[in-house]
Amino acid sequence: TPTPPTARVTSSSTRPQAVIHDVLRPRLGCYSTLNKPSSWVAIDLGYPAIIPTHYSFGSSHPFYLGYYPRNWVLEGSRDGKTWYTLRRHANDDTITGQSPYGVWALHGPSSLFHYPLRYFKVTQTGPNSFGSHELQISHFEIYGRGMGLVNCSYTKCNSEPIRQRPGADPCPPTPLPPPPAEKRKK
């Protein structure tokens, strides 16, 4: 059985003493970017592993209370180059001090939900609840149909095991749908 890839997390910037892999912890961590517009956090699952339907994230920090995201976009990609908007949020006040988690259904192009994605990115598109641009994500989860096993370092991913010959691509190439209107190139 092939060893599953480990999920990796990257970001546009990191606040000093923040631990970026807190984003993948099963309990609330304390990750935050610097105060810069268009801050982002991206997760690479290692290969196209999930056909997403919902996602959740938490925003909490023991020292920086009130930096809750209000304006952001969640994007997904199969190759890390072509990104699709899965959900856009404007003045969303779901996450608060009393409720540091939110769960949302995805609203991307319906044709996209037939293909597994490898990359997910949360980009802040406006100020947070404090009026600044730190993107504070202390927990992130993506839900949907699993296409294989992914080692999320801190979490157990409830996906079916890979059922194919060793060394084979867990998601063989499939034709992608025509580009939806919300597609953009990086």
pLDDT tens-digit series, residues 58-89: 887 656 667 889 999 999 998 899 998 999 99
Query: Over 60: is that where the pLDDT of 15 sits?
Result: yes
pLDDT in tens, 129-163: 999 999 988 888 888 887 654 444 333 333 333 33
pLDDT for the residue numbered 61: 64
Residue 109 CA to residue 87 CA, distance in Å, equals: 10
- 35 Cβ neighbours under 8 A, 6+ residues apart: 132, 133, 134
pLDDT for the residue numbered 2: 56
| Average pLDDT value for the chain | 74
pLDDT for the residue numbered 57: 86
| Stretch among 53-57, 113-117, 176-180 having the lowest mean pLDDT | 176-180
- pLDDT band per the 50, 70, 90 thresholds, residue 92: very high
Contact present, 66 and 105 (Cβ < 8 Å): no
Q: Hey, which bits of the chain come out as E strands? A: 8-11, 31-32, 40-44, 50-58, 72-77, 82-89, 101-105, 119-124, 136-137, 139-146, 183-185
**21 φ/ψ angles, rounded to the nearest 5 degrees:** -75, -5
User: How many Cα atoms occupy the beta-carbon half-sphere of 176 within 13 Å?
Assistant: 15
pLDDT for the residue numbered 160: 33
Q: What is the DSSP letter of 119?
A: E
Query: Over 80: is that where the pLDDT of 112 sits?
Result: no
Query: Over 50: is that where the pLDDT of 47 sits?
Result: yes
